[in-house]
């Protein structure tokens, strides 16, 4: 069987299951006796076992199998989960993640000795508790006591024929006990069963007769009127029955001989541990129903297909605009109506497609409780992690990318932001620190905030460091606002190890965080109060790919400006442009803001400055910073589809992408964040 094709699904479900496992282990730590949680953990381990065995990932299967064994006595209440057990389960989870990761990377699981170590550990814990397992000793021969003989005589007198039936169950059968049960059910209907060898109890606990060819053999003495062939056929109708022999037993003496003569028969014990534990497991599994969450009514779609759909809808939106334009030009009333109707529908399709790509931000947030638990444990800090707004939905593309920056920020908060419990008590703060991770939607943007109530950052120290490093001069430092100062932290090369200790460690790799957020079309900022705490805010667009934009013309080039950055558009007489420190500025409502001429900035060809004409200035805003962009002419507002553009083609990152316009021309999309 070619299993390659299932790999994707295996990985998807494994990830989900790992997450459930993670969540429930965290819960288990707080409520170690909850059968509900234990059942859920057990179910995940069980599902894992089944899937991974099918895929041939035996390490995962072995590990989860032993997890089940460990969970069993916990579930049945024979044992209480203690810290040690939870820790082991956590390390199992880590190992599983590890193994699944290797499956994701290479399509096969790593050969890993640590798995065996873990399995041994698990076994050790299991065995320390449940040593009451005992082997069942089985007699080699079927012996007839007084009662048996009486029954046989009775049967004979009723005209029944005692038959000795030897059933060999296929060696590859996994649950021979169940097959024996099925054999029993068939025979029960055909006559009277006088004797089993081995006994029913022995069969149930996995004990069978064994011959050279077959591991699982049972012999039954049946008093019946049925034809030998009929018995054979009925039994062979059961799956996994390899062979059936039926011998008429004419006399009791002969019978006894037949059964005992079988010299090659010997008794073996099969998986007695497993078989005995089954019974207990089953009891627990019953309790399980009704506990798990209702499965969502969802279907899985390959994200590649979604992207294609997205792109097609993008094209549709562009062409819709074109049809609408044409219908206006032709001034045909019916056509305009029809085009208007189409526009509405297209709008709805677009909205739906955008929503298809949205996933709850919980998919990123859900890994943090564990992260915080582990780090705070290792740092000996007591931390309360508050997560808010995990239901907020955000574009899938963002989800995949934002995880690492957030991990980094949370690590920083834990490591350097929060003080040790002793220090906190000295400062009259509660010994337990709080980190709050929240998401909220604000217009078209999603805000993600990571706040702590730790020691905060002293802006003066940052200033000093920035001056030392030569990022800023004494002079500029004096005129800088607090926001600008904190922004220095995001500068590449600002953070070093010694700064890290001086300044609560913030800044380690913060430039990486900032640049990651920028590539997602978002921004990051820091605010902090000494001894009160620090908040990092990340603003991200909630949907990507299709945006509202203002199209402007400069020279012969058309550019698109994302609408959510635009504050206003004004005309300003050329004479009102002033110069401060060699930079052009304009004053808008008593506010002085820098002016940039798009044509100069981007070296637009065929651009001629008309110094008489008033300037058309688009005021853009990003994170409380304003900037005026002077353009030749406004074209209008339009929805555009962002098509990625090779980064190497855009110098200074002033261009964030390109789009095709209704008339087929290509327009560049200006990256406001880098312009400002």
Partner 1 sequence: MTKVLIVDDAAFMRMILKDILSKAGYEIVGEAANGNEALDHYNKSKPDLVTMDITMPECDGVTALKNIMASNPAANVIMCSAMGQQAMVIESIQAGAKDFIVKPFQPQRVLEAVKKLVG
Question: Footprint of partner 1 on this chain (CB under 8 A)?
Answer: 1, 5-6, 9-10, 13, 43, 46-47, 49-51, 53-54, 56, 68, 172, 174-175, 177-178, 181-182, 185, 204, 237-240, 274-275, 277-279, 281-282, 285-286, 288-295, 300
Of residues 412, 416, 419, 673, which has the active-site annotation?
A: 412
Residue 70's closest CA among 50, 91, 85?
A: 85
Contact yes or no for 327/339 (Cβ under 8 A): yes
Kindly state the smallest distance separating residue 81's Cβ from partner 1, in Å.
21
CB of 274 to partner 1, least distance (A): 5
Here the tokens at position 591 are: 């506010």
For residue 174, the minimal CB distance to partner 1 (Å) is 4
How far is C-alpha 99 from the chain's CA centre? 15
Cis ω on the peptide bond leading into residue 198 (within 30° of 0)?
A: yes
Task: Give whichever of 124 and 291 is closer to partner 1, judged by the CB atom.
Answer: 291
Residue 56 or 347 with smaller CB distance to partner 1: 56
User: For residues 61 and 676, which CB has a smaller minimum distance to partner 1 in the complex?
Assistant: 61
Question: What are the DSSP calls for 436-497, one per residue?
Answer: EEEEEEETTEEEEEEEE-S----HHHHHHHHHHHTSS-HHHHHH--HHHHHHGGGSTT---H
**Beta carbon of residue 419, minimum distance to partner 1 (angstroms, whole number):** 43
Q: How far is the CB of 408 from partner 1 (least distance, A)?
A: 33
Minimum CB distance to partner 1 smaller for 74 or for 551: 74
User: What is the distance between the alpha carbons of residues 498 and 487, in angstroms, rounded to a whole number?
Assistant: 19
| Structure tokens given for 336 | 């305009």
Instruction: Quote the CA–CA distance of 470 and 492 in Å, as a whole number.
Output: 13
Q: Which of 57, 59, 82 lies closest to 70 in space, CA to CA?
A: 82
| Residue 271 annotated among the catalytic residues of the structure | no
Q: Are 539 and 564 in contact, with CB atoms under 8 Å apart? A: no
Coil, strand or helix: which one is 584?
A: strand
Say if strands 216-224 and 383-388 run parallel, antiparallel, or are unpaired.
Answer: unpaired
Q: Active-site residue 229, yes or no?
A: no
CA distances from 223 to 51, 248, 261, 383 (A): 44, 10, 21, 73
Q: How far is the CB of 244 from partner 1 (least distance, A)?
A: 15
Measured from the CB atom, the residue of 48 and 368 that comes closer to partner 1 is 48
The residue from 39, 46, 109, 419 that is catalytic is: 46
Nearest CA to 218 out of 185, 174, 180 is that of 180
Closest CB 277 distance from partner 1, rounded Å: 7
Nearest C-alpha neighbor of 631 from the set 641, 619, 622 = 619
Of 241 and 540, the one with the shorter C-beta distance to partner 1 is 241
The residues near 26 (Cβ < 8 Å, ≥ 6 apart) are 369, 370, 373
Select 178 or 635, whichever has its Cβ closest to partner 1.
178
Put the strands of the sheet holding 583-588 in their side by side order. Answer: 566-572, 615-622, 625-631, 591-597, 583-588, 578-580
Please give the Cα distance from 4 to 22 (Å, whole number). 27
| 387 beta partners | 437
CB-wise, 214 or 434, nearer to partner 1?
A: 214
- Nearer to partner 1 by Cβ, of 36 and 192: the residue is 36
Q: To the nearest whole angstrom, how small is the minimum distance from the Cβ of residue 28 to partner 1? A: 18
The least CB distance from residue 58 to partner 1, in Å, is 10
SS3 41: helix
The nearer residue to partner 1, 131 or 286, going by C-beta atoms, is 286
Decide if 216 contacts 168 (C-beta within 8 A): yes
- CA–CA separation, 91 and 25 (whole Å): 11
For 595, the token pair is: 């002016």
Q: How, if at all, do strands 393-395 and 358-360 pair?
A: antiparallel
Active site residue 105: no
Closest distance of CB 241 from partner 1, Å: 11
Compute the least distance from the CB of residue 529 to partner 1, in Å.
47
Write down the least CB distance from residue 217 to partner 1, Å.
18
Tell me if 218 sits within 8 A of 208, measured CB to CB: yes
Strands 433-442 and 445-452: antiparallel
| Minimum CB distance to partner 1 smaller for 52 or for 543 | 52
Number of other residues whose CB lies within 10 A of the CB of residue 559:
23
Give the burial string for 394-421 (b: 16+ CB within 10 Å, else e): bbbbbbebbbebbbbbbbbbbbbbbbeb
Q: What share of the chain is helix, strand, coil (3-state, %, to 5)?
A: 50, 25, 25
Token pair of 610 as six digits? 């008309």
Which residue in 22, 24, 68, 408 is the catalytic one?
68
In the complex with partner 1, the residue whose CB is nearer, 97 or 148, is 97
Catalytic residues: 46, 68, 412
């Amino acid at each position: 069987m070619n299993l390659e094709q299932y790999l994707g699904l295996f990985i998807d479900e494994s990830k989900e299951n790992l997450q459930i496992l993670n969540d429930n282990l965290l819960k288990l730590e707080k409520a170690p006796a909850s059968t509900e949680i234990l059942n859920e953990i057990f179910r995940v381990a069980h599902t894992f076992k089944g899937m991974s065995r099918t895929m041939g990932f035996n390490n995962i299967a072995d590990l989860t199998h032993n997890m089940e064994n460990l969970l069993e006595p916990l579930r049945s209440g024979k044992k209480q989960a203690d810290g040690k057990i939870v820790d082991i389960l956590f390390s199992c989870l880590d190992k599983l993640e590890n193994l699944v990761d290797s499956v994701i990377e290479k399509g096969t699981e790593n050969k890993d000795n640590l798995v065996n170590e873990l399995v041994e550990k698990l076994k050790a814990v299991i065995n320390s508790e449940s040593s009451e397992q005992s082997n069942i000793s089985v007699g080699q021969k079927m012996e007839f006591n007084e009662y048996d003989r009486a029954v046989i005589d009775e049967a004979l007198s009723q005209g029944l024929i005692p038959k000795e039936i030897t059933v060999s169950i296929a060696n590859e059968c996994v649950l021979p006990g169940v097959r024996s049960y099925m054999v029993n059910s068939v025979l029960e209907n055909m006559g009277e069963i006088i004797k089993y060898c081995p006994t029913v109890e022995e069969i149930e606990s996995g004990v069978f007769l064994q011959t050279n060819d077959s591991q699982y053999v049972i012999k039954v003495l049946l008093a019946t009127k049925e034809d030998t062939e009929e018995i054979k056929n009925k039994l062979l109708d059961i799956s996994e029955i390899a062979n059936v022999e039926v011998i008429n037993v004419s006399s009791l003496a002969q019978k006894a001989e037949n059964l005992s003569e079988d010299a090659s028969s010997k008794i073996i014990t099969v998986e007695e541990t497993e078989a005995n534990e089954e019974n207990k497991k089953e009891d627990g599994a019953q309790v399980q129903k009704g506990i798990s969450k209702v499965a969502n009514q969802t279907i899985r779609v390959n994200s590649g297909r979604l992207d294609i759909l997205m792109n097609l809808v993008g094209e549709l939106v562009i062409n819709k605009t074109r049809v609408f334009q044409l219908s206006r030009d032709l001034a045909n009333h019916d056509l305009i109506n029809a085009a208007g109707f189409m526009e509405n529908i297209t709008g709805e399709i677009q909205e739906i497609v955008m929503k298809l790509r949205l996933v709850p931000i919980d998919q990123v947030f859900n890994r943090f409780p564990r992260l915080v638990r582990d780090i705070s444990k290792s740092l000996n800090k007591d931390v309360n992690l508050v997560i808010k707004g995990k239901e907020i939905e955000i574009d899938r593309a963002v989800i995949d990318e934002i995880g690492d920056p957030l991990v980094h920020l949370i690590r920083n908060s834990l490591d350097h932001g929060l003080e040790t419990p002793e220090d906190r008590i000295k400062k009259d703060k509660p010994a337990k620190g709080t980190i709050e991770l929240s998401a909220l939607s604000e217009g078209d943007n999603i805000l993600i905030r990571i706040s702590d109530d730790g020691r905060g950052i002293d802006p003066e120290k940052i200033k000093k460091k920035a001056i030392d490093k030569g990022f800023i001069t004494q002079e500029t430092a004096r005129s800088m606002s607090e926001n600008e100062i904190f922004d220095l932290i995001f500068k590449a090369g600002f953070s070093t190890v010694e700064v890290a200790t001086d300044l609560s460690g913030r800044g380690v790799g913060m430039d990486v965080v900032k640049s990651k957020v920028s590539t997602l079309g978002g921004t990051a900022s820091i605010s902090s109060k000494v001894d009160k705490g620090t908040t990092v805010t990340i603003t991200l667009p909630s949907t990507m790919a299709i945006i509202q934009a203002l199209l402007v013309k400069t020279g012969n080039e058309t550019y698109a400006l994302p609408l959510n950055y635009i504050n206003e558009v004004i005309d300003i007489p050329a004479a009102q442009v002033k110069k401060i420190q060699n930079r052009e500025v304009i004053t808008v409502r008593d506010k002085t803001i820098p002016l940039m001429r798009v044509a100069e900035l981007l070296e637009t060809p065929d651009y001629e400055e008309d110094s008489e004409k008033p300037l058309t200035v688009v005021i853009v805003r990003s994170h409380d910073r304003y900037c005026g962009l002077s353009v030749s002419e406004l074209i209008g507002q339009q929805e555009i589809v962002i098509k990625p553009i090779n980064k190497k083609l855009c110098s200074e990152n002033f261009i964030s992408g390109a789009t095709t316009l209704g008339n087929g021309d290509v327009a560049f999309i200006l990256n406001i964040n880098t312009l400002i």
